[in-house]
Amino acid sequence: MIRPDDTIAAIATPLGEGGLAVVRVSGREALRVADHCFVPVGRHSRKPGDAATHTVHYGRIQLGDQVADEVLLTVLRAPRTYTREDTVEMACHGGMLPARLVLEACLAAGARLAEPGEFTRKAFLNGRLDLAQAEAVADLIHARTELSLAAAHRQLEGRLSARIDQLRNELVQVLAHVEAHIDFPDEDIAPDAHDALCGRLAEALAFMDGLLRTAREGQILRRGIRAAIIGRTNAGKSSLLNQLLGRDRAIVSAIPGTTRDTIEETANIRGIPVVLTDTAGLRESGDLIEQAGIRRSHAMIAEAELVIHVLDHSEPLHREDAAWLERLAQRPRLIVCNKADLSDGLAWTGDRQLPVITTSCVTGEGIEALKDAIKELIWAGQVAPEAVEVMINSRHQDALRRAREAVAHTAAAFEAGLTLELVAVDLRIAVNAVGEIVGKTTTEDLLDSIFSQFCIGK
C-alpha cells in the first residue's frame, strides 16, 4: 500500500552501463536518510542536513563498512523540488552494481523503494502538477518524434488543463445557478435567464466536441500508426523499409524469400511515429518456415491501420498483386511502384484514384514523396503540426464523452421543462467527469491505474 508520507528512493536513470546513474530520494526524511549514508569529502562539502538548498556536494556513500561509490549529491529542499518535498539526488558511476549499492544504502537508512511513477504521484498529490500534466510527463518520456514531444510539452505547460478548467468552471456556474433556484422554489427561472443557461450548455457541448475531435491525433502521436509493407517477393519491401528508416535494418537480397519473418521498426515520418512492419513476400511456398512467415504476414496485414503495397515497376502486374489490390480495396493504403530505375514493365489498369508513388530504393527517387503521402493519408489533410495545441488521450476521451452525455441530458431537460432536481443531477455528473481529467475528482484506483504505467524512478 502506498503511503503519501513515506520517504521513497529509486534509481532514476535506465539500468545498465553508462557514464552516470542517479539515485533519487524524496520525502520529509530525505535529508536524514542522506545524512546517514553520505560521508562528505573536501573542505566545502557538507552533510545534506547542514547544506543549503540547490547545492552539490562531493563525497562517498557508505553501506555498512563498505564504500558503495563516490557521488555528487544534490540537496533540494521543499518546496522548490519536483515533488515539493525535500529531495536528494546522488549521481554515482553508471553501472548496475554502483547504483544498486547506493540505493541499498538509502533503503538501509530508512527509505522505502518507490513504486512505479510514485515521484510524479507525489508531485500531483502535493499540487505541483494536475493529473493531465502528470500524464504528460509519461508522454515526454515515451515521445518518439519531435511532434509528439512538442505535444507533450504543451500538455505539461498546462494548455489542456487550462481548457478543462475553463469548461469545468462554466459547468459549475450553471450548476450553482440551478441549485440556487432549487433552494428558492418560489422563484421561477426568468425566460431570459433560461435562454442564457441553454446557450451556455450549447457552448459547453460545442467545446467538448472540439476536444473530442483531437482524440485520434493524440492517439497517433502517443502510440503511432501501424503500417504493413506488403507485396510479392523481391518487390523491394525490405529496401523500402531501410529507406524509410534511414538505415539498413532488413537484409536485402535478390534471392526470393529472404524475409521469412516480420520485421518491425518505428520510423519518424514527418513527425509521426509510424510502426513499419516488413512482411514476408506474398506467394505460394513449399518451405515450411517461409509458410509460417507468410501466415504471420497475413496477421500483421489484418492488424495494420495502413497498408503500403509495393509493386515491381520493372515487371508486368502479377495475378497475386491484382488479387491483393482487390482484397484490400476497402483499407487505407498506398501503392508504391518500386524499381523505377529499371525498365517500365508494369501494366496496371486498376483504380488510378488510389495514391500511387513511384520510387527507386537505389536512387532514392520518390522516397520523400512517399513520406509526404503517408503523412497526408494519416492526417487526412486535416491537421497541421502547428495546429495541434491540445490532444486528449483515451482516458480524457472517456471522461469527456460521459460529461457530454450528461450535459446533453441537462439541455434536453431544460427544454422539456423538467424539474431542476433532475437537471442538477446530470450537471453534477458532468462536473465530476470533467474534473477527473485534471484530478479534481479522483479515486485511488484511478491514480493506481495511471501511475502504474510510469517507470520506477519517475
Bigger pLDDT: 234 vs 49: 49
pLDDT tens digit string along 325-365? 888 778 888 888 888 887 666 655 556 567 788 888 888 88
Bigger pLDDT: 203 vs 301: 203
- Does residue 155 surpass a pLDDT of 70? yes
Q: What is the arrangement of strands in the sheet containing 263-269, beginning at the earlier edge strand? A: 263-269, 272-278, 225-230, 306-312, 333-338, 356-358
With a pLDDT cut of 70, the percent of the chain lying above it is: 85
Amino acid 188: pLDDT: 59
Bigger pLDDT: 194 vs 412: 412
Beta bridge partners of 308: 229, 334
The topology (CATH level 3) of 8-128 is Gyrase A; domain 2 (3.30.1360)
Amino acid 260: pLDDT: 42
pLDDT tens digit string along 23-50? 999 999 999 999 999 999 988 899 999 9
Compute the average pLDDT of residues 257-277.
Answer: 74
Beta bridge partners of 89: 24, 74
Amino acid 221: pLDDT: 81
Mean residue pLDDT across the chain = 84
Question: Quick one: pLDDT band at residue 113, thresholds 50, 70, 90?
Answer: very high
Would you kindly state where each structural domain of the chain is located, as residue ranges?
8-128, 134-214+392-439, 224-384
Identify residue 267 by its one-letter amino acid code.
A
How many other CB atoms are found less than 10 A from the CB of residue 95? 17
Amino acid 68: pLDDT: 94
Amino acid 284: pLDDT: 52
Bigger pLDDT: 390 vs 41: 41
Q: Residue 264: name the closest of 303, 309, 310, 221 by CA.
A: 303
With a pLDDT cut of 90, the percent of the chain lying above it is: 40
- Does residue 383 surpass a pLDDT of 60? no
Q: Which of 159-173, 175-189, 277-291, 415-429 is predicted with the least confidence, judged by mean pLDDT?
A: 277-291
pLDDT tens digit string along 235-265? 888 888 888 888 666 544 444 444 445 678 8
What pTM was computed for the model? Answer: 0.79
Question: Quick one: pLDDT band at residue 396, thresholds 50, 70, 90?
Answer: very high
The topology (CATH level 3) of 134-214+392-439 is Four Helix Bundle (Hemerythrin (Met), subunit A) (1.20.120)
Q: What is the 3-state secondary structure (H, E, C) of the chain?
A: CCCCCCCEEEECCCCCCCCEEEEEEECCCHHHHHHHHEEECCCCCCCHHHCCCCEEEEEEEEECCEEEEEEEEEEECCCCCCCCCCEEEEEEECCHHHHHHHHHHHHHCCCEECCCCHHHHHHHHCCCCCHHHHHHHHHHHHCCCHHHHHHHHHHHHCHHHHHHHHHHHHHHHHHHHHHHHHHCCCCCCCHHHHHHHHHHHHHHHHHHHHHHCCHHHHHHHHHCEEEEEECCCCCCHHHHHHHHHCCCCCCCCCCCCCCCCCEEEEEEECCEEEEEEECCCCCCCCCHHHHHHHHHHHHHHHHCCEEEEEEECCCCCCHHHHHHHHHCCCCCEEEEEECCCCCCCCCCCCCCCCCEEECCCCCCCCHHHHHHHHHHHHHCCCCCHHHCCCCCCHHHHHHHHHHHHHHHHHHHHHHHCCCHHHHHHHHHHHHHHHHHHHCCCCCHHHHHHHHCCCCCCC
Amino acid 50: pLDDT: 95
Domain 224-384 in CATH 3.40.50.300? The answer is yes
